[in-house]
Amino acid sequence: MQLDETDRRILRHLLAEPALPRADLAERAGVTPATLWRRIEKLRAGGVILAETAVIDWRRMGYEVEVSLRFTLEKSNPRALDEFIAAAREVPEVIGIETFLGRVDARLNVIARDMGHWTELYRARILALPHIAEVEALMLVSTIKDAGGLPI
């Protein structure tokens, strides 16, 4: 779909402050609430906006540990990636799955209540995933920026 300057302006403000009430968003973007509503519906229908989701703070729910696990998979089996992902989806503590072109094939974002829970999870569920050749862990210390903003 073609985006005009008004669409871009709305998106810029929406992405920068997703929780802003719609009336305030309309004012920032310099359009009427009716125009805003129509434009956002159009962006949804056109598949530009896929979803507006709530952000859950897992630390506040008692999950103190977040680890980024980077996997290299066995290259001999063409089904390796699909089977790895299907198995990873079965682990409730996996909150994100990404695949890559590069040295890393896949990455899992995993949360745990504490280091004891993490160790248990890692041994019983993560290392049991199929087709792992190599795994590396990056332990999250802090998120300094996590913004949906885009230079549009």
Partner 1 sequence: MIDLDDTDRSLLRALAGDGTLSAGELGRRFGLSQPAAWRRLRRLEEAGVIAGRRVVVDLSKLGFGVTVFLGVKLATKGRVSLEDFERAATAIPEVQVVQHVLGLFDYRLRVVARDLADFERVLRRRIMTLPGVGNLEANVLLTEERRPGPLGATETVVKG
Contact between 1 and partner 1 by CB under 8 A: the answer reads: yes
Identify whether the C-beta of residue 11 lies closer than 8 Å to the C-beta of residue 151: no
Complex with partner 1: residue 128 or 140, whichever CB lies closer? 140
Q: Helices 5-16 and 22-29 meet at what angle, rounded to 10? A: 130
Smallest gap from residue 125 Cβ to partner 1 (A): 12
Structural tokens at position 146: 């996590």
Contact between 38 and partner 1 by CB under 8 A: the answer reads: no
On the 0-12 / 13-18 / 19+ scale of CB atoms within 10 A, 87 is middle
Smallest gap from residue 146 Cβ to partner 1 (A): 5
Contact residues toward partner 1 (CB under 8 A) are 1, 3, 11, 14-15, 18-19, 46-58, 60-63, 68, 89-90, 92-104, 107, 111, 136-152
